[in-house]
Amino acid sequence: MPLWPVYTGSGEPHDGIEQLPPPPPWRAFDGGPVLEAPAPGGGTTSPDRAHRARTYRATDECVQLVNAALYLRRPLLVTGPPGSGKSSLVYAVARELGLGPVLRWNITSRSTLHDGLYQYDPLSRLYAAGRTRGTGAPDDRAGVEDHLRLGPLGTALLPYARPRALLVDEIDKSDLDLPNDLLNVLEEGQYEIPELVRIARHTPKAALLTADPAAPVPVEHGRVRCRAFPFVVLTSNGEREFPPAFLRRCVTLRLRQPHGDHLEEIVRAHLGEPDAYAHELISRFLERGSGGELATDQLLNAVYLTRAAGLEASSRDDLARLLMPYLSEDARRAAAADQGPGPDAAF
């Protein structure tokens, strides 16, 4: 594997992002005025996410494709079963490369492109206008920016000098139209805010709040265009297929449940050197993985609790069995049929 100068997967912070070469000519952006990203940390990252960022262990394939996305200025579509580390990846990359706090957009069936770009509250503006002037007719030239706030995607596309990191989590849960709606924005690296475009002749510059807990940023003529294309990670549990037009604009990484030495390395990163019983649990977890879907965090829960509870051997086995049921109903039924009565009896 070549030694990439940008993302190495080592987990140690460094300035490799400064060695990122210029983008391909078809992915060059020139937005401005240039902004400095918020400093990493700063109390904006929760302790659990900071822990996941420190302990993430990337495979060789993961390192290759993260760098491909960074070099090509393309979104990274990460697919894989639950617990395979899809959402943790973006936090690990942001920490290692110093990309600032991760912007997160959690997708539901009701999510729209507009939600990710910005939110505008016309009713609060109408109320404010009526309260200050004694009339319900707002002046289009005043006060619009006070009722606008950029969303996670809209913030990531601001003209930062360095790429921001954006997690679009569980995009497979979205409405069927959202992936297609994202195509133009992610391809062009820009968008317009119609409420500001309409008043740009009178108010060419507006200061808007963003998805960061920081000072407002300037937006000129109602248009936002990135300068450094953000590191965008879109995660999917594989519950649906995406249109070819969407897939060809992404770099695709398919994660699998870790095995062997990689799984042991993950346990070591989270909980320290595995003891004899932890090694036994890892072996059992790998054996059972052939019979149905399991998640790595189930193993971590079992190793932690069986170590912390101070139980006798039989009680530890019972607890570990209860903490590592198959995730699919079919696998649970098959295990029960093979091994007799009891909750997920095979262990």
Residue 160 lies inside a defined structural domain of this protein: yes
Nearest CA among 179, 194, 214 for reference residue 101: 214
Q: Residues 112, 139: one domain?
A: yes
Residue 163 lies inside a defined structural domain of this protein: yes
Residue with tokens 């491909």: 68
Instruction: Please report the pLDDT score of residue 132 as a whole number.
Output: 55
Instruction: Please report the pLDDT score of residue 335 as a whole number.
Output: 62
- What's the average pLDDT block by block, 10 residues per block, for the chain (347 residues)? 81 93 96 86 67 91 97 97 90 95 95 94 60 52 79 97 96 94 96 93 91 91 96 92 94 90 92 92 88 87 86 84 83 62 49
User: Given 214, 235, 254, which residue is the final one in a domain?
Assistant: 254
Q: Residues 152, 103: one domain?
A: yes
Residues 212 and 16: beta-carbon distance below 8 Å: no
User: Given 232, 254, 276, which residue is the final one in a domain?
Assistant: 254
Instruction: Please report the pLDDT score of residue 124 as a whole number.
Output: 60
Q: Residues 137, 283: one domain?
A: no
User: Given 209, 236, 254, which residue is the final one in a domain?
Assistant: 254
Q: Residues 220, 116: one domain?
A: yes
Torsion of CA 314, 316, 322, 323, to 10 degrees: -160
Q: Residues 154, 271: one domain?
A: no
Q: Residues 39, 127: one domain?
A: yes
- DSSP string computed for 200-213: TTT--EEEEB-SSS
Residues 332 and 291: beta-carbon distance below 8 Å: no
The count of domains in the chain is: 2
Instruction: Please report the pLDDT score of residue 340 as a whole number.
Output: 56
Q: Residues 133, 186: one domain?
A: yes
Tell me the two tokens of residue 320.
Answer: 């570990």
Provide the residue range defining the domain that includes 303: 260-339
Q: Residues 186, 320: one domain?
A: no
Residue 309 lies inside a defined structural domain of this protein: yes
Nearest CA among 31, 32, 54 for reference residue 41: 54
Q: Residues 51, 158: one domain?
A: yes
* CATH at 69: 3.40.50.300
